[in-house]
């Protein structure tokens, strides 16, 4: 039996060697692993601790043995359909297109276990690049578990690793074998030769040798076992290992609200990928968001739904060129995109965490108030909108939201007052005119309705046609212009 004090030292040692959150994820596992090693080596706990703390070949071998007992190597080919589709349809074609002259691509599967993920990349590239043999493709598969790496190098897998593949793919890329009494599958040589396996401890090792300038890095289902501070450090390290324009993809929500340095999030319906900015000093940074694949066509709403991610500068719908986003900016962008894609649960969770961390941030409070409003938590929406106004009493946008909340309560007079207040603070607030027009229309006040619509139309003329006007669910300025014209003519 390990004394608690020795056990705590061992736990710290493992955590500082691997970055793993041993406390949270595996006291029992650690106890079992250590008991097994003490038994095999016939050492008392104190000597075992000393062995792990020493340097040299014996210590390294012991770390390998312990790590292979401690880590979770679960993986399979084509893991996570959504992310694989994003790789196949968006990221890899973009990278291939960009590399068409150099014909060179460098990919890294970190925490690759036995290599299922690295080989999945190899298969995807083979399918996407018809003349791949004329390309210079490097796919690195790295892990802290040497036993898994050795297994990966052999390219032999059991049925469990192939469970997401259909029979066509299995027949195309594998040969069935029987080893002993076990059925297993050997990957074909053209796929095997694309992947190189190496030991790399994400937490401890530096980006030396081949570990820089990657077009794509996958680090999926690895951070779930890491301490929070370790996640942040490793994510920054991986972002640094990207070539300009390269992508980092982690498992879902594995980075929580962390956005690594030097990358911007690109959002897809299925996942987020982080793209290294081409040149941090460039005057015109890269577009922040990926154009999402087409969604169902939008109908022009008679009244917009409670849905906005508006900030002060967006009131006119104009998007000025953005400076490189800070971590907070990047997190807010992620939340806004989640909001836009109606992922309310996730957006709320992140926004609440953001506001808890940055209670004085106007944008966080404002965003959170819209999210609460959209899920019908009006009391909380009110508190957050008022908090946003405490932070910035001259912001017009919270008045717009408060007007919606007043309308929800059936207080049309208060709603109109609040919209007028928003317009007083920002006379170019197109959506406030449209809302006001809708309220006047409800009351049958044709003159005021018309006046407010004409004012909105005048403002829309100054907005580039393709610009989305908040909070109208993605409607562009030109679509809104047609809608308002129509209302003026026939409304």
* CA of residue 325 relative to chain centroid, distance: 15
Residue position matching structure tokens 């289902």: 221
CA distances from 452 to 302, 303, 381, 445, 449 (A): 15, 15, 27, 11, 5
Residue position matching structure tokens 């038994």: 39
**Shortest approach of ligand SAM to residue 230 CB, angstroms?**
8
Q: What is the DSSP string of 269-305?
A: SS-EEEEE-S-TT-SSPPPSSPPPPP-SPPPPPSS--
Nearer to ligand SAM, 117 or 257 (CB): 117
User: CB-hemisphere CA count at 13 Å for 14?
Assistant: 32
Q: What is the C-alpha separation between 71 and 222, in angstroms, rounded?
A: 10
Nearer to ligand SAM, 83 or 309 (CB): 83
| Residues 429, 315 contacting (CB under 8 angstroms) | yes
**Shortest approach of ligand SAM to residue 339 CB, angstroms?**
28
User: Collapsing DSSP states into helix, strand and coil, what is residue 120?
Assistant: helix
- H or E element at residue 234: helix 228-240
Nearer to ligand SAM, 29 or 417 (CB): 29
Q: What is the C-alpha separation between 128 and 142, in angstroms, rounded?
A: 24
**Shortest approach of ligand SAM to residue 19 CB, angstroms?**
5
Q: In residues, how long is the chain?
A: 491
- Backbone φ and ψ for 399, nearest 5 degrees, come out as -65, -35
Longest CA–CA separation in the chain, Å:
93
Nearer to ligand SAM, 153 or 474 (CB): 153
Tokens linked to 428: 């170019």
Residue position matching structure tokens 């992140």: 350
Nearer to ligand SAM, 202 or 347 (CB): 202
Residue position matching structure tokens 């998007």: 319
| Angle formed by the axes of helices 57-70 and 146-154, nearest 10° | 80
**Shortest approach of ligand SAM to residue 59 CB, angstroms?**
17
**Shortest approach of ligand SAM to residue 160 CB, angstroms?**
12
**Shortest approach of ligand SAM to residue 76 CB, angstroms?**
7
**Shortest approach of ligand SAM to residue 72 CB, angstroms?**
5
Nearer to ligand SAM, 1 or 206 (CB): 206
Q: What is the C-alpha separation between 42 and 235, in angstroms, rounded?
A: 39
Nearer to ligand SAM, 43 or 258 (CB): 258
β-partners of residue 174 are 187
**Shortest approach of ligand SAM to residue 348 CB, angstroms?**
27
* Binding residues for ligand SAM (CB under 6 A): 18-20, 71-75, 79, 111-113, 116-117, 143-145, 148, 201-203, 220-222, 225
Nearer to ligand SAM, 92 or 335 (CB): 92
Nearer to ligand SAM, 144 or 406 (CB): 144
Nearer to ligand SAM, 141 or 317 (CB): 141
**Shortest approach of ligand SAM to residue 107 CB, angstroms?**
13
Nearer to ligand SAM, 79 or 336 (CB): 79
Tell me if the bond preceding 204 is cis, omega within 30° of 0: no
Q: What is the DSSP string of 121-169?
A: HHHHHHHH-TTGGGSEEEEEEEES-HHHHHHHHHTEE-GGGGTTS-HHH
**Shortest approach of ligand SAM to residue 83 CB, angstroms?**
9
**Shortest approach of ligand SAM to residue 290 CB, angstroms?**
22
- H or E element at residue 92: helix 92-98
Nearer to ligand SAM, 211 or 362 (CB): 211
| Residues 302, 117 contacting (CB under 8 angstroms) | no
| Residues 432, 460 contacting (CB under 8 angstroms) | no
**Shortest approach of ligand SAM to residue 471 CB, angstroms?**
37
């Amino acid at each position: 039996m390990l004394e608690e004090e020795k056990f705590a030292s061992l736990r710290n040692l493992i955590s500082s060697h691997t970055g793993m959150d041993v406390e949270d994820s595996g006291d029992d596992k650690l106890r079992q692993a250590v008991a097994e090693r003490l038994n095999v080596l016939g050492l008392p706990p104190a000597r075992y601790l000393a062995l792990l703390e020493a340097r040299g070949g014996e210590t390294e071998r012991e770390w390998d043995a312990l790590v292979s007992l401690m880590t979770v190597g679960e993986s399979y080919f084509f893991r996570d359909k959504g992310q694989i589709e994003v790789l196949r349809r968006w990221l890899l074609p973009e990278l291939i297109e960009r590399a068409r002259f150099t014909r060179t691509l460098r990919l890294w599967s970190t925490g690759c276990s036995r290599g299922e993920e690295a080989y999945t990349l190899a298969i995807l590239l083979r399918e996407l690049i018809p003349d791949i043999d004329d390309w210079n493709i490097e796919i690195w598969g790295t892990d802290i578990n040497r036993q898994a790496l050795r297994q990966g190098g052999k390219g032999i897998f059991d049925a469990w690793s192939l469970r997401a593949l259909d029979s066509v793919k299995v027949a195309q890329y594998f040969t069935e074998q029987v080893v002993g009494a076990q059925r297993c599958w050997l990957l074909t040589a053209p796929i095997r030769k694309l992947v190189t396996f190496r030991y790399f401890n994400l937490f401890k090792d530096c980006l030396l040798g081949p570990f820089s300038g990657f077009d794509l890095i996958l680090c999926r289902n690895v951070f779930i076992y890491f301490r929070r501070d370790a996640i942040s450090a490793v994510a920054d390290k991986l972002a640094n290992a990207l070539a300009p324009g390269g992508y980092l993809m982690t498992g879902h929500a594995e980075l929580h609200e962390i956005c690594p340095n030097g990358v911007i999030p690109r959002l897809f319906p299925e996942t987020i990928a982080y793209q290294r900015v081409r040149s941090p000093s460039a005057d015109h940074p890269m577009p922040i968001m990926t154009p999402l694949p087409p969604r169902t066509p939008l109908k022009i709403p008679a009244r917009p739904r409670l849905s906005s991610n508006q900030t002060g500068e967006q009131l006119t719908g104009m998007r000025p060129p953005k400076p490189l986003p800070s971590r907070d900016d990047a997190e807010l962008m992620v939340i806004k995109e989640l909001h836009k894609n109606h992922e309310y649960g996730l957006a709320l969770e992140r926004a609440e965490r953001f506001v808890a961390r940055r209670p004085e941030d106007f944008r966080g409070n404002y965003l959170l108030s819209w999210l609460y409003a959209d899920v019908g938590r009006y009391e909380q929406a009110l508190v957050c909108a008022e908090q946003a106004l405490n932070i910035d009493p001259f912001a017009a946008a919270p008045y717009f939201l408060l007007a919606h909340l007043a309308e929800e309560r059936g207080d049309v007079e208060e709603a109109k007052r609040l919209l007028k207040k928003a317009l007083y603070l920002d006379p170019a607030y197109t959506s406030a005119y449209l809302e006001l027009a809708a309220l006047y229309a409800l009351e049958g006040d044709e003159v005021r309705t018309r006046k407010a619509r004409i004012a909105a139309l005048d403002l829309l003329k100054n907005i580039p046609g393709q610009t989305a006007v908040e909070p109208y669910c993605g409607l562009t300025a030109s679509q809104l212009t047609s809608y308002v014209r129509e209302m003026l003519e026939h409304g």
